[in-house]
Structure 1
Amino acid sequence: MEGMQEEFKYETEVKTGGRVELEVPFEPGVHVTVFVHKSRNGTFEDLLSASESTLSFWDNSYDDEDWNCA
Structure 2
Amino acid sequence: MAGFDVVTTWPELFKDLDDGQQETVRQVFATEHVSGWEPDRAAVADLVAFTLGHIDFDAYLSRSADRAAVELAS
TM-score normalized with structure 1 length = 0.27
Q: RCO greater where, 1 or 2, for CA within 8 Å and sep 6 or more?
A: 2
TM-score normalized with structure 2 length = 0.26
Larger Rg, first or second structure (1 or 2)? 1
* Richer in helix (by share): 2
